[in-house]
């Protein structure tokens, strides 16, 4: 069949059964990427202790987020040219290779590099999942399917930390160090995803005479990488006034300006600036960044609170996140079904950002002896807010852009959400480490005044050791341990106080969304055929 015949064939309307088969393959791939954003959270404590240094905590998380973020917009554009399936499977293979090498890492530098390779594959898995759903399902029907992807994120938010904790708590499994299995477990899932997508991911391809803006892509990747390195790694570790931090940030910002200038004049830009003229695209991009920051604030900080303050094992910390998952899964599926039934979507991100903000503010009430049932309520609220917001803004975006821009617009939205996650993780990690040092000094100075005998000759120089390696806490006398834990609790309070205004900004953005009627099968098929016709012309 010729290209022309293929292009001009009537747009295929997939049955529910066909869509569910495709969704199954996509969910398997997306689960890989989502799991590896969360699976290291409970195992990191063991990893950094083996490789020595809590100061490496953000490096392992951020390396993955950085490459997945920088590569995300590229996948949408490249898949427009070469087809969704082949690019999606390239992402799976890249992720598979990164997982294998991460499990073989012998030092922190190798682990960070291989996590970056994993992230390169994960960027495609996360971006193309929503692009492919956008290809085959009209916006009016999309809620019932995208709710399942919200459930994947919810499952990953608990299964990730739980699996990470399970493996980290075991010294060896089949002669291999326990925490290495958090990477090896990806291998059978990745192979299964390859097999499933090969069998079911057969969707019509609109052949377009696209070209890749290679120079624009290079500018974008380098500028994003430099900015994220300065903000998420060099700033927190070496100081914001350090020459390396300033140099990286300045270079990144200069290249960002150069990228924007180049994209304004490029024939086929990698990120068309014209998309920002679309009210919904601009708002959902900003809202995605807010949601990303809020999500990772909870996913990274809660397990750390459970392990450091409550003294739970890594496995227990993962189990304690089940209420968070229930919040995401239930509201994600419910909101998806309600959108499909009634056709209204604006109310859900408004409710979601309000509920998420309330949940984060309640997190500031956490203490050493806070009962678990209270923590569960706070976690459910944060999860419910995420579930109401996360998938809904994708539906709003895809309904508002032309079909020919579906790939780049959807992957760009995922890019901004990942960007928010990286900045959020860096911001909250910096605040936590800074405040822990401050409160340890002030709390022990106060203890020295009120009850000097309680210190019992305690070496105050060990305070730096406590902030870098929390394993030391268990070796301390009861009074000193209590004083140190209070410093951590106060630090977590500041982190959540800092997160609340960010999610509150999301409420304002959600209120500004314009709700437009969701396209149905008939007008969506017409839009696809129109895009195909434009590609021929």
Q: Report residue 318: phi and psi, to 5°.
A: -65, -45
Per-residue pLDDT for 377 more than 90?
yes
Q: Give the tokens for residue 86.
A: 């082949």
Pairwise CA distance, residues 319 & 328, whole Å: 15
According to DSSP, residue 513 is labeled P
State pLDDT tens for residues 399-419. Answer: 777 766 776 777 777 778 877
Stretch among 156-160, 360-364, 366-370, 420-424 having the lowest mean pLDDT: 156-160
Task: Check whether 4 has a pLDDT greater than 50.
Answer: no
Could you identify the residue written with the tokens 């377009």? 208
Q: Categorize the per-residue pLDDT at 102 as very low, low, confident or very high, splitting at 50, 70 and 90.
A: confident
Question: What pLDDT, on the 0 to 100 scale, is given for residue 530?
Answer: 47
Which of 384 and 526 is assigned the larger pLDDT? 384
- Give mean pLDDT, residues 311-336: 80
If you average pLDDT over every residue of the chain, what do you get?
77
Q: What is the mean pLDDT of residues 475-484?
A: 78
CA dist., res. 364 & res. 228, Å (int): 28
How confident is the model at residue 5, as a pLDDT?
Answer: 35
Query: Per DSSP, what are the bridge partners of residue 173?
Result: 176
Q: Identify the H or E element spanning 176.
A: strand 176-177
CA distances (Å), origin 409, targets 131, 243, 341, 396: 9, 36, 25, 12
Q: Is 186 helix (H, G, I), strand (E, B) or coil?
A: helix
Per the model's pLDDT, the better-predicted residue between 498 and 207 turns out to be 498
pLDDT of residue 208: 55
pLDDT at 156: 75
Whether the predicted pLDDT of 204 surpasses 70: no
Confidence (pTM): 0.74
Residue 228 has pLDDT above 80, yes or no: no
pLDDT band at 274 (very low <50, low <70, confident <90, very high): confident
SS3 268: coil
């Amino acid at each position: 069949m010729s290209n022309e015949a293929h292009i001009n064939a009537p747009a295929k309307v997939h049955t529910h059964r066909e869509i569910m088969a495709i969704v199954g393959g996509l969910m398997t791939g997306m689960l890989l990427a989502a799991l590896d954003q969360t699976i290291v959270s409970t195992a990191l404590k063991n990893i950094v202790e083996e490789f020595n240094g809590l100061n490496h905590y953000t490096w392992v998380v951020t390396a993955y987020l950085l490459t997945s973020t920088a590569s995300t917009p590229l996948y949408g554009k490249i898949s427009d040219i070469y087809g969704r399936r082949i690019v999606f499977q390239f992402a799976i293979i890249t992720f598979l290779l990164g997982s294998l090498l991460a499990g073989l890492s012998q030092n922190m530098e190798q682990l960070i590099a291989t996590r970056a390779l994993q992230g390169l594959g994960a960027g495609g898995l996360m971006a193309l999942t929503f692009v492919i759903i956008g290809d085959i399902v009209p916006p009016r029907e999309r809620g019932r399917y995208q709710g399942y992807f919200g459930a994947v994120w919810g499952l990953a938010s608990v299964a990730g930390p739980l699996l990470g904790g399970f493996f980290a708590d075991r010294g060896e499994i089949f002669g291999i160090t326990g925490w290495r299995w958090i990477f090896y477990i990806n291998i059978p899932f990745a192979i299964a995803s390859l097999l499933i997508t090969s069998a079911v991911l057969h969707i019509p391809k609109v052949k377009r005479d696209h070209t890749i803006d290679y120079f624009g892509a290079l500018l974008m990747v380098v500028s994003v990488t430099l900015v994220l390195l300065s903000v998420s790694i060099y700033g927190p570790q070496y100081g914001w006034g350090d020459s390396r931090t300033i140099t990286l940030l300045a270079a990144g910002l200069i290249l960002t300006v150069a990228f924007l200038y180049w994209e304004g004049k490029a024939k086929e830009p990698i990120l068309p600036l014209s998309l920002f003229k679309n009210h919904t695209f601009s708002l959902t991009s900003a809202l995605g960044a807010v949601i990303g920051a809020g999500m990772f604030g909870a996913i990274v900080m809660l397990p750390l609170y459970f392990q450091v303050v409550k003294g739970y094992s890594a496995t227990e910390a993962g189990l304690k996140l089940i209420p968070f998952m229930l919040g995401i899964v239930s509201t994600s599926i419910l909101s998806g079904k309600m959108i499909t039934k009634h056709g209204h979507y604006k109310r859900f991100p408004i409710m979601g950002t309000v509920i998420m903000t309330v949940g984060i503010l309640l997190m500031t009430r956490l203490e050493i002896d806070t009962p678990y049932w209270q923590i569960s309520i706070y976690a459910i609220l944060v999860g419910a807010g995420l579930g109401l917001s996360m998938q809904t803004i994708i539906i709003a975006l895809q309904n508002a852009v032309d079909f020919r821009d579906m790939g780049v617009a959807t992957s760009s939205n995922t890019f901004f959400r990942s960007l928010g996650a990286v900045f959020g993780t860096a911001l909250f990690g910096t605040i936590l480490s800074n405040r822990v040092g401050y409160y340890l000094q002030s709390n022990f100075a106060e203890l020295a005044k009120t009850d000097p005998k309680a210190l019992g000759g305690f070496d105050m120089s060990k305070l730096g050791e406590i902030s870098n390696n929390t394993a030391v806490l268990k070796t301390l006398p009861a009074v000193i341990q209590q004083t140190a834990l209070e410093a951590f609790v106060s630090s977590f309070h500041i982190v959540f106080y800092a997160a609340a205004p960010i999610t509150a900004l999301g409420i304002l953005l959600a209120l500004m969304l314009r709700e437009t009627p969701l396209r149905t099968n008939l007008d969506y098929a017409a839009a696809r055929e129109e895009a195909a016709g434009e590609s021929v012309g």
